[in-house]
Structure 1
Amino acid sequence: MLTRLVIEDAVRHALMEDAPTGDITAATTIPADETATAVLSARENGVFSGADVFAAAFHEVDPGIQVTMRIKDGERFTAGDTLATIHGNARGMLTAERVALNFTQRMSGIATMTRAFVDAVDAAPGSHARIADTRKTVPGLRPFDKYAVVCGGGRNHRYGLSDAVMVKDNHIAAMQAAGLDLTAGIKHIRDQVGHTTHIEVEVDRLDQIPAVLEGGADTIMLDNFSLEDTRKGVAMIAGRAIVEASGTMTLERVPQVASTGVDVISVGALTHSVRSIDLGLDWA
């Protein structure tokens, strides 16, 4: 989903927000024809994401600015590493600097946090679970947030409401109010959608699982289950549906959840509670 057009549109809007009538400081302190060289450097360890977005910010201001990336998306870096070199018109570089950093620091923060979760799950005994994101993204930045998750080794959940059926507690309450029990409600959904449409159902109690299985759900999400109930849920489902665990996932807890045998662990914190990575752009 993170296409060139999406990147250019977002960068253009960000620059319009930051410098709607130009950069007063750069225009009044730096000669129009002055050139400069700067380096993007890491001030802490992390996983990189956002190379194309970083370059696009400079090119949108001045197509003549040269951006040479020294790292690829998804690669790890350590504090002190040089990640990119930028050369060109000094005014343009300064105008684009903040927008370029804002995107790249956030995206690298998401990639770094995701990698930590993936590493924690991969090290858990008996785990085959994947780490996935959620729709808890910054409005307008979903393509960037979800791309950064992939850079960190995670997987994308549905992109939006149009991608798959996901029946949550309020949907269940609405179906029951309409006189449909859980099994009948899922079958009713199946009758209305195409054969390729994935159906996921969220449950918050073990006793809901048999009805969801009978309805033919493709994925069953165990929401805020204890570790003991998660194990029981996996055993009850017994491979008849994909098992997803969700709710209050932390780095300390995910290895234990992964060891219960779930297939997917969705982590909202990857995008809603991320800390941007400290990257610096310094004149060389």
Structure 2
Amino acid sequence: MPDDITAGRAVGFLLDLIDPADADRVRARVGLPRPAPEDLREARRRVPWELPRLPSAVVLWMLQEDDTELNAVLWRLLTERDTALRRAILEGVPFGPGRVLPVEVDPVLRDDYERPPVPGRVARLGLVAALRDSTTMAAARQSASMVYRHEHWRTIAAADRENSLPGYVRWTLAVRPDCPPSLRAQFGTHRKFAFRVRQAGVTTSPAEYALDHGPARDALKVLSRGHVIFPNRIAEAEDGLRPLVRDHLGGHEEAWAVLAQLLGTFHGTTAELVMTAGAIA
């Protein structure tokens, strides 16, 4: 049986991908009760205390919901390096594909938080010039904090095509959740650059994240809250995992017992965890 509530929920997420009758039998075998219905608002309120630091892609899927309440939850998950996203949330910048109308800002955020000041170097030089003048990571992050609207990204893409931006700037922007994929590709495909992007948790789809992001325990904890924090994309993750789970675990009780035991210490991806549990059983 998993050793905490969120780990139990992670196993439950995978169980929901198999036949319900088989899932009930497995739950009884591993000592995992069927989860009780929960209030969406209360579930969202607990998210900042339940989940590990979110990968870049997951932050993007949350932003794409364009949900006032969810943006307030995300605000609490952001760090000092996420100043640009905080600006975007406070200004109601929409992220959903095709959306142009601003997102209503949560009253608490609107009333209790001021927008971060414009960095002096950007006010003095202008955005593009400040980025070109960024010769350290600290300077790059400071200048890049003013890149958060669609028109900003278009300006950056044009400037980089004209003359490549400094490496620190390209790195800082490429790992951002809201960096357009076309611009990320434009920045380059060097091995070290690709590693940094992958390390930040940038993935092409929820299915790729579900299968290839590790450690499995953390990825499954995030996916198990997918219906709460990115409901419009979670089905893609489920569809990506479902064939693998049914083929390697199915209704095999011993395989699920092995998976529950491995979950806490397994360092590989979810796909590797599922295949390993099935092979051991």
Work out which structure has the larger RCO, using CA pairs closer than 8 Å and 6 or more positions apart in sequence: 2
Looking at secondary structure, tell me which structure has more helix per residue.
2
**Higher percent of residues as strand:** 1
Larger radius of gyration: 1
Is TM (by shorter chain) over 0.5? Answer: no
TM-score by length of 1: 0.30
